[in-house]
Structure 1
Amino acid sequence: MTFTEPHPPVADVAEAGWGNLWPHFTRMAAAPGPVITRGEGAYIWDEQGRRMLDGLSGLFVVQAGHGRRELAEVMAAQATELAYFPVWGYATRPALQLAERLADAAPGDLNRVFFTTGGGEAVESAWKVAKQYFKLTGRPLKHKVISRAVAYHGTPQGALAITGLPAMKQQFEPLTPGGFRVPNTNIYRASEHGDDPVAFGRWAADRIEEAILFEGPDTVAAVVLEPVQNSGGCLTPPPGYFQRVREICDAYDVLLVSDEVICAFGRHGTTFACEKFGFVPDIVTCAKGMSSGYAPIGAMIATDRIAEPFQHGKTMFPHGYTFGGHPVAAAVSLANLDIFDREGLNRRVLDNEAAFEATMRKLLDLPIVGDVRGDGYFWAVELVKDKATKQTLDAEERDLLIRGFLPAALRDNGLYCRPDDRGDPVVQVAPPLICGQAEFDEIERILRHTLTEAAALL
């Protein structure tokens, strides 16, 4: 095909284009997946005209829903006026306005906004700024990062080193040195204090102090944690956990990074999830829901204390991205946040999260469902072989269900969501924030039907 030829019908694209597209996180030998052609509200349609409830907000992204014409119009208007200019010594009005708005929304003195084009870049930037900050303040050995087992923090070499998923890293090793792991907060699988959330939270937090002391406080720069951990299936923080982590970081002069690439922008009912869970970090990383996916954008937001040593003499942060703070992405993010304010999407999540939880917990009567956990509009259903003993699925059974049966069956039954086994096998749901009880019921009904079929295969 030449660029001057007309575009072929969608069906032809599906057949021909898969030979050129390199899909992400996908087995290349697998049959081609569906081609999604449009979205409206909480629903998407494929090239065959099948409608599916978008139970994952694309990829934890489309907070305000699909097909928002006003957002498309903002993008067109900005592109007509100024489609692109970098923030390398210059600025654009949308980037300045968005930086101010994010700083106003962030807790404490998180006032300095460094734009990226996605979450992995934001995490990469956080590690780099932490290392340089300590060099500038006379503690050059502080470079290590502590994160949690099974946690995912991105694909760049630094962010991947922070990621706690060995299988995702093996093909790219050696990675950036300096990443170390501590236990996560999966109380369902807890070997310590599994019947006492407060004691379990203290135990898990104290493992961070233990790791800092083992590595040496003079060498540890940061602790990177998601407010609710994605990989492993929506692992929520036990009561008091983050308060204890904050104490530990302060005691050893270690920066606390709240990785909110998924959790920010209403997923838990607040602009930044650290607010909901009662702690103020030194750095927030965010992306995804900032624009509801209408354009790629992310950010690292740092406190005034961290930014201060960069503001003297000839000092600079020698780091940046060509498309960071892109004016079209920044403009549509501002319009997206206007929708949040006008339609009260954060308040909507807080008002509906109990109903969503109650609806999801109905699935606990299925023999294949061991646990249902999450917060806000972010939930996971853990699958087990034996409910009484919590016996998990073996490798063959995981392959059969997680990569074989469930993706196509859920799609055929009308639900797009995420079967995942980067920790224990789960099915995750995170619908757009515009959803309510009708969509919750639809999610539960489709999951019930599909998981019943899955159980029969075991």
Structure 2
Amino acid sequence: MTLTEHDTAASGLPEAGWGNLWPHFTRLGGRSTPVITRGEGTYIWDDRGRKVLDGLSGLFVVQAGHGRREVAEAMARQAADLAYFPVWGYATPPVVQLAERLAAAAPGDINRVFFTTGGGEAVESAWKVAKQYFKLTGRPLKHKVISRAIAYHGTPQGALAITGLPAMKQQFEPLTPGGFRVPNTNIYRAPEHGDDPVAFGLWAANRIEEAILFEGPETVAAVVLEPVQNSGGCFTPPPGYFQRVREICDKYDVLLVSDEVICAFGRHGTTFACEKFGYVPDIITCAKGMSSGYAPIGAMLTTDRVAEPFLRDKVMFPHGYTFGGHPVAAAAALANLDIFETEGLNRRVLDNEGAFGDTMRTLLDLPIVGDVRGDGYFWAVELVKDKDTKESFTTEERERLIRGFLPKALFDNGLYCRPDDRGDPVVQVAPPLISGQAEFDEIERILRHTLTEATSLF
């Protein structure tokens, strides 16, 4: 279901205000909402007993599937031994073990792990560490961050300033100053080079250099990019794009931050997606799939070079979170990563991503489907009013389609996924990594039926 201002499907919750609950990214004045009571494997059930395929892994989170008792048991054991202790000058065994495991899986010399409780906090931490890094190394003016249009990087004031979605920011302005935008890699609506992915990738990457030069290299601290951009609908990187971005960042001494809150932990078939797309960043931000959602945990990982100034005498990074590096959450993450290894989930995604993509692309025969794009287990279907001209829907039509019809219709038809129009209207799917062809076929069947119904709205 859409997570951008939506009316919700019917359920047993009160019609007016849902009692005491204030849901996230949801219209309080909307209809009542489903109550999800349990999950098993790739499916969830609501309080009416309806069985629904979880085509979004909760929120790009439940990589190993629902109902993994081995994870719950690991959490219970840790809670019995030590339920909580902070990492403010102390450590616990699961946090140390998890840091070692993440560093071992990260590319290059990314060896330092700073734990948070979620992705927005990880992005916030990355910007703060970049600012302090340049102050410690004698370049105090470097504080600005460049990100892409329509990209979402979180809701804290700093992370929101990096986010490239004006409508999400207007109610909270003024924000932290210093965020600047460049074009994204939506080749379906490319301004030029649309028929040449390599040329388009070079064009898009060079806009980053242009922005750095315009703002002044002495003022730019970081470039923050998702390997595959979520908001807007799964914008994949053109060939050579990240290699050129890495060159640009090195040339102007700008830190490259790979925001992998969604893309890490197998979503694209590798622990960290930057490895799949052939670049080594200076900082990685991650969360979501680290524990498959069994406990809230995120992290910022840095290279030895970024960490070095903080190792100096009497230097401290004055930043942290009460529940960052929570021992029970770390135990959940360790158990989750054990499942990745024993069941070969990364390999499973790489082996099946072609079949998933082929299955999704069969939807291109529908008149309402303009584009199907994605990578790994992360795909989007862009919806259009006119397939030949790529004409999109009006504001009123989007309201009717994305918020009024699709969320309830998809759920009623047996699929939980994400209609979204923060960019052009799309439906996104990202099932648990334990999914296979049976789940791909079910996703395609329900999408086909529901989108065929949607054409009658116009």
| Residue-by-residue CA offset, 1:8-38 (whole Å, 9 max, x unaligned) | xxx8766799220000000111012100000
What residue in structure 2 maps to residue 286 of structure 1?
286
1:294-341 CA-to-partner distances (Å, cap 9, x unmatched) read: 000000000000000001111000000000000000001000000000
SS, match of residue 434 in structure 1: coil
In the other structure, the counterpart of 2:204 is 204
- Contact kept, 8 Å, 1:201 with 1:237, in 2: the verdict is yes
Once the two structures are TM-superposed, the CA of residue 275 in structure 1 deviates from its matched residue by: 0.2
Deviation for aligned residue 1:258 = 0.1
Q: Which residue does 1:449 correspond to in 2?
A: 449
Stretch deviating more after TM superposition (307-316 or 16-25): 16-25
Residue of structure 1 equivalent to 2:139 = 139
Matches within 5 A, 1:12-411: 18-411=18-411
- 2:104, 2:111 within 8 Å by CA — same for their partners in 1? yes
Taking structure 1 as reference, are residues 338 and 14 closer, same or farther at Cα in structure 2, changes over 3 Å only? farther
Question: Given residue 129 of structure 1, which amino acid in structure 2 is its aligned partner?
Answer: V
The TM-score with structure 2 as length reference comes to 0.97
Contact kept in structure 1, 2:118 and 2:296, CA below 8 Å: yes
Cα deviation code 1:390-413 (max 9, x no counterpart) = 000110110001000000000000
Aligned residue type for 1:454: A
Secondary structure of the 2:127 match is: helix
Contact 1:145–1:178 under 8 Å retained in 2: yes
Does the residue aligned with 1:244 lie in a helix, a strand or coil? helix
Counterpart residue type for residue 269 of structure 2:
G
Deviations 1:255-297 (A, max 9, x none): 0000000000000000000000000000000000000000000
The two structures, once aligned, show a CA RMSD in angstroms of: 1.0
Q: Is contact 1:63-1:266 (8 Å) kept?
A: yes
Distance (whole Å) between structure 2 residues aligned to residue 369 and residue 16 of structure 1: 35
Aligned length: 448
Aligned to 2:209, the other structure's residue is in SS state: helix
Q: What letter corresponds to residue 415 of structure 2 in structure 1?
A: L
Residue type of the partner of 1:363? L
Structure 1 segments unaligned to the other structure (5+ residues) = 1-10
**8 A Cα contact 2:45 2:52, kept in partner:** yes
| Kept in 1: contact 2:266–2:272 (CA 8 A) | yes
Note the C-alpha offset of 1:192: 1.0
Letter of the 2:84 counterpart? Y
1:3 aligned partner: none
Aligned partner of 2:409: which letter?
Answer: A
Distance in 2, matches of 1:267 and 1:456, equals: 34
2: CA distance, partners of 1:250 / 1:311: 23
Distance 2:358 2:332 in 1: 34
Q: For 1:12 and 1:268, how far apart are their aligned partners in 2?
A: 37
The aligned amino acid for 1:89 is: G
**Which amino acid is the alignment partner of residue 332 of structure 2?**
V
Q: Deviation above 2 Å: which 4+ runs of structure 1?
A: 11-17
TM-score, with length taken from structure 1: 0.97
Alpha-carbon deviation of 1:456? 1.0
Structure 1 pair 17–72 and aligned structure 2 pair: CA distance change class (3 A):
farther
- What amino acid is the match of 2:150? V
Which AA in structure 2 matches 1:313?
D
| Amino acid aligned to 1:126 | A
**Matching of residues 423-438 of structure 1 within 5 Å:** 423-438=423-438
Distance 2:121 2:302 in 1: 15
* SS class of match (1:310): helix
CA distance in 1, matches of 2:381, 2:15: 34
Q: Is the 8 A contact 1:14 1:35 kept in 2?
A: no
Quick check: 15-24 or 212-221, which moved more? 15-24
Which residues of structure 2 form unaligned runs of 5+?
1-10
How much identity, in percent, do the aligned residues show?
86
The match for 2:8 is: none
Match for 2:417: what amino acid?
A: C
Looking at structure 1, the residues matched to 312 and 275 of structure 2 have their Cα atoms a distance apart, in angstroms, of: 31
Letter in 2 for 1:406: L
Q: Which amino acid in the other structure matches residue 240 of structure 1?
A: G
Matching residue of 1:416: 416
Secondary structure class of the residue paired with 1:263: coil
Tell me which amino acid in the other structure corresponds to 2:27: R
Separation of aligned partners in 1, 2:294 and 2:90: 24
